[in-house]
Amino acid sequence: MNKAIVLATAALTLAACAPAGSQQPVANGKKEISFLVFETPNLTPEYWDAAIKRVTDKHPDIAVKKLVAPSAGERNAYAKQLLASGQLPDVMQAIAPSGLAESGNLYAWSEEELKNYAYPRSNPLGGKIYQLPYNSQSTPLVYYNKKLFAEAGVDAPPRTYAELLDVSSKLKAKGVNPFVVGGGGKDAFAAGYIWIALVGADVYARQPDFLVKRRAGQVKFGDPAFVKATQKFADLVKKGYVDKAGLSRDYPSTEKAFLDGKGAMYPMGSWFAAAADAGADAGADAGKPPFEIGVFAWPTDDGEVVVPSYTGGGPIVNARSKNLEAARTFALEFNQDAANNDVLVKSDAAIIAINGYQPPRMGPVYNATLEVFKSGKAVNAFTVETGDDSLLPGVGDKVFALAQEIIAGKTDGAAAAKALDEEWVKAGGQ
């Protein structure tokens, strides 16, 4: 039995002590709700515990039972496991509603409840909003080691895809690994960021409704634009620009590899800015990288700045919770508490999409990330969509598995696209 299954089994056993949908007020009169979270190097157990306490301090009638997904990448599948076993938590943070909401399992937020959000209609499912849209993220941008760039004779980040290839060639000629990637163990999703970037730059920039059309059977992954974008990924691997050692790294190890200077470019979500600035603040004496980190959007063929991004990430609520009012209250307060958001910005480089919110003073990488985020054409981030334009259930996992195969050199653009179309049909699509 692998580690992920062991962890999932343990967590299911824990959840079974107080399954969602059957909680009753506890003996001291408090209403207990379960709250499913996930942990990353930025979102530690201490982060979640402190954030939960800020809300329960304001609402002492609510007691929270924290549940933890086996990993960040498995959190959506894990929520579905809990649903299948009749243990869907009362509140779930950053869980995609697709595959859960369709059967009436999730609470739909009202216009009044969404009035404080900058993008209140983000990611609708059937015209309804199930996930609070409080956090915007670029997925991914490209973070780079300015020292390694300079040593390779590169004095500025690439603006076009041709320039990106030239930069990669110069880095490799200097014995430097151009791209740091991950994808090992339970964190298969970490293999997918180059592919996500390419789909954003080459497909979504021209066809922003590509997945809506895919759901309608009007386009396929096997269409030329998607195959071309995917083949670029395979060609980067073939040229030796992508570090295949990443397939043995989990997500934290991948981040550490870049911070340890084991490669020049790191395609990653905007949340990485928190770790980058923490390293700069700590200094070399604390074992942090002795180099400056810059950031740019994945280059397009014509130089247009395209920024794959997503606004959502907030809680979803079990519509069948016995303590539904408490669950709704907790979810709204968790997202709108200013102190919680300040900590999230500092710990996870969040770009808070709540009207009137002012972030705390941040470091140079976060500020540069925010500048890039605002500078380009916003498109959806492939695999991250959670509304009517999301991937069908299970297809996202296939994307990440195929990304691992591409990095391993086992498949190419056409074959990967064909496999996705086959998986799409298996999932019930056209």
Kindly tell me if the per-residue pLDDT of 288 is higher than 90. no
Read off the pLDDT of residues 140-174 as tens digits, 9 standing for 90 and up.
999 999 999 999 999 999 999 999 999 999 999 99
CA 400 – CA 413 distance, rounded (Å): 14
Confidence of residue 86 (pLDDT cuts 50, 70, 90): very high
- Contacts of 69 by beta carbon, 8 Å cutoff, 6+ apart: 11, 36, 37, 38, 75, 78, 79
Instruction: Answer yes or no: is 377 within a domain.
Output: no
Polymer length of the chain: 430
Share of the chain above pLDDT 70, in %: 91
Q: Say how many Å lie between the first and final Cα of the chain, rounded.
A: 35
Q: How far is CA 117 from CA 122, 216, 419, in A?
A: 10, 30, 38
Q: Report the interhelical angle of 272-282 vs 338-348 (nearest 10°).
A: 70
Residue spans of alpha helices (H) in 200-318 = 210-215, 224-238, 251-259, 272-282
Q: Is residue 413 part of a domain?
A: yes
Separation CA 81–CA 34 (nearest Å): 15
209 plus 76 within the same structural domain: no
pLDDT of 227 reads 98
Q: What is the mean pLDDT of the chain?
A: 91
pLDDT of residue 98: 87
Statement to judge: residues 10 and 109 lie in one domain: yes
Distance between CA 391 and CA 363 in Å, rounded?
A: 35
Same domain, 127 and 264: no
Residue 178 has a pLDDT of: 98
Please report the pLDDT score of residue 23 as a whole number. 43
Question: Is residue 373 in some structural domain?
Answer: no
Tell me if 186 is assigned to some domain: yes
The answer to whether residue 366 sits within a structural domain is no
Q: Which amino acid is at 80?
A: K
- Do 100 and 216 lie in one domain? The reply is no
Q: Are residues 100 and 214 part of one domain?
A: no
Output the six-digit token pair for 285.
């004496």
pLDDT surpassing 70 at residue 2:
no
pLDDT given for residue 391 in this prediction = 94
What is the mean predicted confidence (pLDDT) over 84-99?
95
β-strand pairing of 62-68 with 31-37: parallel
Residues 196 and 295 in one domain: yes
**Same domain, yes or no: 184 and 215:** yes
Per-residue pLDDT tens over the stretch 117-148? 999 999 999 999 999 999 999 999 999 999 99
For the chain, counts of helices (H) and of strands (E): 15, 11
Are residues 243 and 267 part of one domain? yes
pLDDT at 26: 56
pLDDT at residue 290, rounded to an integer: 81
Structural domain count of the chain: 2
- Enter the tokens of residue 64: 């929270």
Domain that holds residue 198: 141-309+382-426
Q: Are residues 280 and 321 in the same domain?
A: no
- The residue whose two tokens read 């691997």 is 237
Statement to judge: residues 400 and 289 lie in one domain: yes
Same domain, 152 and 220: yes
Mean pLDDT of 304-317: 96
Same domain, 301 and 327: no
CATH of residue 64's domain is 3.40.190.10
Is 179 inside any structural domain? yes
- 370, part of any domain: no
- pTM of the predicted protein model: 0.84
Structural domain contains residue 393: yes
What's the CA gap between 13 and 261, in Å, rounded?
A: 41
Q: What pLDDT does 117 receive? A: 96
At residue 285 the predicted structure's pLDDT band, cuts being 50, 70 and 90, is very low
